[in-house]
A and B are shown apart, each in its own frame.
Chain A
Amino acid sequence: MKQHFPIFENNPELVYLDSAATTQKPKQVIDAITSFYEKENANIHRGLYGLSIEATKKYEEARKIIADFINADENEIIFTSGTTHAINMLVYTIDSLTWTEKGKGKNEIVLSEMEHHSNLVPWQQLAKHFGYKLKFIPITDNFELDHNKAREIITDKTAILSITHTSNALGTINNAKELINLAKQKNPDVITIVDAAQSVPHIKIDVKELDCDFLAFSGHKLYGPMGIGILYGKKEVLDKLRPFHFGGDMIKSVTLEASEFQPVPNRFEAGTQNIASVIALGEAIRFINRIGLSKIQDHEKQLKKYALTKLKTIKNIDIYHSSNTDNTSSIISFNLKGIHSHDLASLLNDYNIAIRAGHHCCMPLMSALNITGTARISFGIYNTKEDIDKLCDALIKIQEVFNK
């Protein structure tokens, strides 16, 4: 598989175990960007010449591929610059859905303790400015969300439920569907949001099955380019959502006094979009589809199993991973006792092993676990058992030096 990824050709010794931060890019995706700028570059939508018409066609084709990938309709896909951007944009105008006559008295936002800062800090701001109360579903000793507590925390006053689908720090895959159902039983008008940044590259996401109102993910964690992300929104909900950006391309007609907006989803895409990256993301999904997501999942499952078994044989290791490995992704957090995770990551770099260390943008989660950070490994389709062997050998060598 590595042969599809030029990074490994240019860095033959690289053991890349940081795909949860960003995946490497297949040649096909890189070529799509180059090809667009070299052969097809033009702005989309209102151009009446061949290049622009072709660019528009490719842009909208990519939207279709992305929509199909998560079982959405094309007009439910909004392009953003990434997951963080998607959640922030939604937060800007979500009051148009929740701060309504019907929403009176429903003043609670429910999140979880394992949220990435990008699905926490924007809600803190919304809570601050609108007087919402933030509530958090805690984690169990087995690094999973506590659904018993969730049943108490989610109430008929819950206006917004925003939950990570897969924890970027723990790898836990949450039962988002159950939480969404629970919230809708308590308040049929609740707005539900799923942060699927760590799920979409690894497991089949079906927005219709999840029945969420919104879902956000990033292209660059999905073998696509940086600077492109998706905000999915249910059509009937998007119809009611106030646009967050105003300007060119999102309008139907403009007078000096007022404007009429385009229909969904174009009304949410003001200004020139990241067209090359949209097209390249479409290409990334073509790449994934050709291999098959279930094949990718199987491969990563094998690797995870192998890595967990092997890591557990290392002395003085703390692994923060649910024992229910059917519900975890290929992300493993751990610490070696007496070695700070940043030292570990720096030393692994000497063995050309790239891992992430620290709080993983989940400071409240680290506090709940009573640690300051972890070393985190995460897999992509290019990883092999050999990568894990190299990691474990290096960990043992580093431990020997530290415990000398």
Chain B
Amino acid sequence: MENQAKDEKGKFDKENHGLSLLMYRENILDLYKYPHNFGSLNQATHSHREFNALCGDDITIKLIINNKDNKIENIKFQGSGCAISMASASLLTDEIKGKTLKEIETIDKDKILNMLQIPISSVRLRCALLCLDALKGALK
């Protein structure tokens, strides 16, 4: 039993693997089960679908952008994928809703990883960044 407790701690301390048990301390699982801004959007002005061929993640982002002030009035995403891809899409859509295109220009890989707040290994990076690629595709 004592050994097991030590092992559990060991696992938490390990930071070099994608989705470690660390994720449970964060909201990732909640966002996976109850994603934010999930669904379709009628009258979207911009949309884009992005795949991750490696694991089958599939995200479509739809936006309504007001062409007068370039503000993102609404944003939704749909699709299926792993916890990381779903959680990062929730976080990204939360982050940019109501902002202007100018304000979101600086959103990049580091920003996404910062929002996720869990260590992401190289093999899972694509999962985390799929939503960003979808967003960029939509805004092209």
Shortest beta-carbon distance, B138 to chain A, in Å? 22
When the two chains form their complex, are residues B17 and A346 in contact, meaning their CB atoms are under 8 A apart?
A: yes
Q: Assess whether B115 is interfacial by the CB under 8 Å rule.
A: no
Q: How far is the CA of A338 from the CA of B14 in the complex (A)?
A: 25
When the two chains form their complex, are residues A342 and B17 in contact, meaning their CB atoms are under 8 A apart?
A: no
Number of A-B residue pairs, CB cutoff 8 Å, is 51
Given A347-B19, A350-B17, A350-B20, are A340 and B82 neighbors across the interface (CB < 8 Å)? yes
Q: Assess whether A31 is interfacial by the CB under 8 Å rule.
A: no
Q: Which of A347, A350, A351, A359 contacts B56 (CB 8 A)?
A: A359
Residues of B17-56 whose CB lies within 8 A of A: 17-21, 24, 29, 33, 53-56
Q: How far is the CA of A388 from the CA of B121 in the complex (A)?
A: 26
When the two chains form their complex, are residues B82 and A343 in contact, meaning their CB atoms are under 8 A apart?
A: yes
Shortest beta-carbon distance, A353 to chain B, in Å? 12
Q: Assess whether B116 is interfacial by the CB under 8 Å rule.
A: no
Q: Which residue of A lies closest to B83 (CB)?
A: A343
When the two chains form their complex, are residues B20 and A342 in contact, meaning their CB atoms are under 8 A apart?
A: no
Shortest beta-carbon distance, B110 to chain A, in Å? 21
Residues of A within 8 A of B11 (CB): 350-351
Q: Which residue of A lies closest to B12 (CB)?
A: A350
Q: How far is the CA of A402 from the CA of B11 in the complex (A)?
A: 17
Central interface residue in B18, B57, B124, by most chain A CB within 10 Å: B18
Q: Which of A346, A350, A363 contacts B124 (CB 8 A)?
A: A346
Shortest beta-carbon distance, B48 to chain A, in Å? 19
When the two chains form their complex, are residues B24 and A342 in contact, meaning their CB atoms are under 8 A apart?
A: no
Q: Assess whether B127 is interfacial by the CB under 8 Å rule.
A: yes
When the two chains form their complex, are residues B17 and A372 in contact, meaning their CB atoms are under 8 A apart?
A: no
Residues of A within 8 A of B54 (CB): 358
Q: Which residue of B lies closest to A338 (CB)?
A: B33
Q: How many residues of A contact B (CB 8 A)?
A: 20
Residues of B within 8 A of A342 (CB): 55, 82, 124, 127
Q: How far is the CA of A363 from the CA of B58 in the complex (A)?
A: 14
Shortest beta-carbon distance, A271 to chain B, in Å? 33
Shortest beta-carbon distance, B56 to chain A, in Å? 3
Q: Assess whether B98 is interfacial by the CB under 8 Å rule.
A: no
Q: Which of B17, B20, B56, B127 contacts A373 (CB 8 A)?
A: B56
Q: How far is the CA of A191 from the CA of B3 in the complex (A)?
A: 59
Q: Assess whether B84 is interfacial by the CB under 8 Å rule.
A: yes
- Range class of the B interface residue count: 20 to 34
Q: Assess whether B137 is interfacial by the CB under 8 Å rule.
A: no
Given A349-B17, A350-B17, A350-B20, are A343 and B56 neighbors across the interface (CB < 8 Å)? no
Q: Which residue of A lies closest to B29 (CB)?
A: A402
Q: Assess whether A357 is interfacial by the CB under 8 Å rule.
A: yes
Q: Which of B19, B56, B58 contacts A358 (CB 8 A)?
A: B56
Q: How far is the CA of A373 from the CA of B51 in the complex (A)?
A: 14
Q: Which of B18, B53, B81 contacts A346 (CB 8 A)?
A: B18
Residues of B55-98 whose CB lies within 8 A of A: 55-58, 80-84
Question: Interface code A319-350, partner B: CB below 8 Å = 1, 0 otherwise?
Answer: 00000000000000000001011110011011
Q: How far is the CA of A401 from the CA of B18 in the complex (A)?
A: 17
Q: Assess whether A366 is interfacial by the CB under 8 Å rule.
A: yes
Q: Which residue of B lies closest to A367 (CB)?
A: B56
Central interface residue in A343, A351, A372, by most chain B CB within 10 Å: A343
Central interface residue in A363, A372, A401, by most chain B CB within 10 Å: A372
Residues of B within 8 A of A359 (CB): 55-56
When the two chains form their complex, are residues A401 and B29 in contact, meaning their CB atoms are under 8 A apart?
A: yes
Residues of A within 8 A of B58 (CB): 372
Shortest beta-carbon distance, A23 to chain B, in Å? 21
Shortest beta-carbon distance, A116 to chain B, in Å? 15
Residues of B within 8 A of A341 (CB): 55
When the two chains form their complex, are residues B24 and A401 in contact, meaning their CB atoms are under 8 A apart?
A: yes
Shortest beta-carbon distance, B31 to chain A, in Å? 13
When the two chains form their complex, are residues A372 and B24 in contact, meaning their CB atoms are under 8 A apart?
A: no
Question: Interface code B111-130, partner A: CB below 8 Å = 1, 0 otherwise?
Answer: 00000000001001001000
Enumerate chain B interface residues (CB-CB to A < 8 A).
11, 14, 17-21, 24, 29, 33, 53-58, 80-84, 121, 124, 127
Can you report 19 residue pairs joining A to B where beta carbons are below 8 Å apart?
A338-B33, A340-B82, A342-B82, A343-B82, A346-B19, A346-B20, A347-B20, A347-B21, A349-B20, A350-B14, A350-B20, A358-B56, A359-B56, A363-B53, A372-B55, A373-B56, A401-B24, A401-B29, A404-B29
**4 A-B pairs closest in CB distance:** A372-B56, A340-B82, A346-B19, A342-B82
Extra pairs beyond A341-B55, A342-B124, A350-B11 (6, CB < 8 Å): A338-B33, A340-B82, A349-B18, A358-B54, A358-B56, A401-B29
